[in-house]
């Protein structure tokens, strides 16, 4: 069976030259005032040798977030569907009479979603071991990932580094390094609250109460700025909030070790605990006993967050985990470089050469990422035939129902009949995934637009999905001459 699938993949994707663009897609490009050269396209049946539609299919393109499909399928195949991330509290000291007289190590292994609630449970389990006071340092072990300069914060051209999707990866990532800012306007003024309430983050509240109006518009009247020095941060709030309105924003602040240490100490003190030591970074000595361990949910649970909601930080954590867990040391010490090498070897073991592939961080949050539409479709075909197809396909957004496709193609025949990952970046719009067509067969779709007017290309991508669903490829459909490039 694997031989037959491999033969079909080769026949479908490697042996066919480009075809003219289908008429509806050409018309959509014309309406969007986009040249055909901006679009790379593959539409191919998953389970037959019928010729695919290929257009600019071998052109290296910036895929934006559809690059996450490469990362998540590789992780599912290499780490396995039951992979879990541990996080540990270790100490050489033995709890006795309410006292831990020694250093407490917090060891991270790259968990992509170690939430506030799970951190609280870890500390609660430590308190349950009759520990009330810790006389020693909190030692943060972030050594599982070795991050080079290529893992610098992505510049989104928006001057908004406080947005959580821009947080960089870390082996000891706690609560997405973020806080929830809650704002409520009442008769006495504007009330604000941070959760968690970290002492290193202060709020400078200059908001005014405005006359009552539509609360859906309150964020438009809010001027927010975060002054983040790494060791401390200040949130400046200006503007007005209508009386009776309330809302919340999630903000990232502080350096990773500062945030992690502050969160641990804050939660410990809220539990009535006492901590008299300092904070430092270090590596857990070998054979140090584990006092508390927290295991993440299994990998497919995280893949849904990554692909349905395009979570960049979680994708980067998974990508780095591939380098840390399966990357050979001779491939270099930088974990991202090792992860890229792991994926290249994985592709080679499948008999593929994606020479144009540039992963960078595995999330597609990059100006340098590149892949061809043909190769991405080839990967989707392999995933669609794999034993893990159900886990992979179900992680993608359902058209018109959830994730980043929830508000697209509403009320159309495609509603609920396609699993499609989206991508969005400056000068980039993309879709990739699986469409169940009108005859019940599955079509692989990859469509990537790279152009300064890419934001105008969403209707083009929607037309691609419609075409894959309800059009039959025929000479008449493909006959219209292409528009000028």
The DSSP string of 149-175 is GGGSPP--SSS-TTSGGGPPP-TT--G
Distances (CA, A) of 416 to 44, 368, 396, 420: 20, 33, 12, 10
Distance between CA atoms of residues 434 and 51, nearest Å: 17
Here the tokens at position 124 are 């609660």
Here the tokens at position 329 are 């040391």
Q: Average pLDDT for consecutive 10-residue bins of the chain (485 residues)?
A: 43 56 96 98 91 96 98 98 98 96 98 98 97 97 89 65 89 98 90 97 94 79 91 95 90 97 98 95 97 98 98 97 82 86 96 96 94 98 98 98 97 95 97 96 97 98 96 40 36
- Find out whether 221 and 243 touch, Cβ atoms under 8 Å: no
Residue 124: count other Cβ atoms within 10 Å of its Cβ.
12
Residue 302: count other Cβ atoms within 10 Å of its Cβ.
25
Q: Phi/psi at 179 (nearest 5 deg)? A: -130, 155
Query: What confidence score (pLDDT) does residue 156 get?
Result: 64
Q: How many Å separate Cα 421 from the centre of its chain?
A: 11
Query: What confidence score (pLDDT) does residue 477 get?
Result: 37
Query: What confidence score (pLDDT) does residue 32 get?
Result: 98
Query: What confidence score (pLDDT) does residue 473 get?
Result: 42
Q: Write the CB contacts of 3 (distance below 8 Å, at least 6 apart in sequence).
A: none
Assessment of whether the complete model's pTM goes beyond 0.75: yes
């Amino acid at each position: 069976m694997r031989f037959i699938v491999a033969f079909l993949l080769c026949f479908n994707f490697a042996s066919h030259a480009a075809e003219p663009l289908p008429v509806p897609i050409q018309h959509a490009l014309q309406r969007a005032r986009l040249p055909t050269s901006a679009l790379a396209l593959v539409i191919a049946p998953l389970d037959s040798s019928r010729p695919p539609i290929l257009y600019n299919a071998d052109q290296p393109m910036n895929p934006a977030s559809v690059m996450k499909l490469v990362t998540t399928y590789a992780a599912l195949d290499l780490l396995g569907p039951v992979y879990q991330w541990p996080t540990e509290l270790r100490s050489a000291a033995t709890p006795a009479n309410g006292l831990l007289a020694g250093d407490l190590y917090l060891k991270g292994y790259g968990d992509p979603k170690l939430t506030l609630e799970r951190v609280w449970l870890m500390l609660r389990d430590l308190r349950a071991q009759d520990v009330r006071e810790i006389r020693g340092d909190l030692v943060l072990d972030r050594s599982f990932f070795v991050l080079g300069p290529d893992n610098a914060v992505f510049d989104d051209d928006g001057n908004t580094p406080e947005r959580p999707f821009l947080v960089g990866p870390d082996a000891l990532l706690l609560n997405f390094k973020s806080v929830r800012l809650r704002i409520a306007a009442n008769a006495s003024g504007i009330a604000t609250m941070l959760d968690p309430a970290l002492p290193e983050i202060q709020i400078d509240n200059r908001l005014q109460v405005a006359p009552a109006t539509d609360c859906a518009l309150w964020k438009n009247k809010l001027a927010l700025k975060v002054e983040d020095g790494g060791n401390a941060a200040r949130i400046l709030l200006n503007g007005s909030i209508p009386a009776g309105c309330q809302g919340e924003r999630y903000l990232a602040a502080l350096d990773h070790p500062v945030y992690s240490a502050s969160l641990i100490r804050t939660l410990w003190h809220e539990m009535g605990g006492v901590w008299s030591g300092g904070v430092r970074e270090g590596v857990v000595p070998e054979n140090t006993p584990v006092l508390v361990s927290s295991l993440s949910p299994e990998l497919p649970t995280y893949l849904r967050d990554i692909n349905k909601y395009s979570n960049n930080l979680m994708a980067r954590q998974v990508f780095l985990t591939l380098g840390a867990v399966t990357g050979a040391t001779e491939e270099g010490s930088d974990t991202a470089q090792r992860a890229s090498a792991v994926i290249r070897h994985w592709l080679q073991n499948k008999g593929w050469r994606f020479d144009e592939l540039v992963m960078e961080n595995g999330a597609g949050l990059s100006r340098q990422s590149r892949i061809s539409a043909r190769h991405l479709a080839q990967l989707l075909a392999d995933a669609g035939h794999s034993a893990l197809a159900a886990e992979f396909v179900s992680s993608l957004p359902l058209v018109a129902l959830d994730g980043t496709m929830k508000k697209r193609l509403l009320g159309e025949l495609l509603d609920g009949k396609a699993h499609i990952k989206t991508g969005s970046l400056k000068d980039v719009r993309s879709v990739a995934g699986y469409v169940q067509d009108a005859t019940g067969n599955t079509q692989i779709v990859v469509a990537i637009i790279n152009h300064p007017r890419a934001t105008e290309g969403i209707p083009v991508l929607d037309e691609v999905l419609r075409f894959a669903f309800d059009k039959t490829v025929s000479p008449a459909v493909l006959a219209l001459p292409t528009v000028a490039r």
